[in-house]
């Protein structure tokens, strides 16, 4: 079963890995919503000096079996 942008196994604590792609090509990944948000926030701050909210990140998050990943517009 594939999840939706803010739902699905990872957001509910399951074991599917979720991802979100950055415009620069970096792909943040996490086994749950908290891990995905932490990875994406770290990348955005270190590489782009952007502070993103969890909502901004999770709106674009997709499970890896869905085509493409969301892209955060900064």
Q: How far apart are CA 62 and CA 60, in angstroms?
A: 7
**pTM (2 d.p.):** 0.66
What tens digit of pLDDT does each residue of 19-45 get? 899 999 999 999 888 999 999 999 999
The tokens describing 44, both together, are 């955005």
Q: Above 80 in pLDDT, residue 70?
A: no
Q: What ranges do the domains of the chain cover?
A: 8-60
């Amino acid at each position: 079963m594939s999840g939706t942008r803010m739902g699905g196994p990872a957001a509910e604590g399951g074991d599917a890995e979720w991802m979100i792609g950055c415009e620069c090509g970096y792909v943040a990944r996490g086994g749950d919503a908290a891990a995905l948000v932490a990875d994406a926030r770290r990348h955005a701050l270190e590489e782009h000096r952007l502070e993103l909210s969890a909502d901004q990140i999770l709106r674009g998050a997709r499970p890896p079996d869905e085509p493409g990943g969301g892209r955060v517009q900064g």
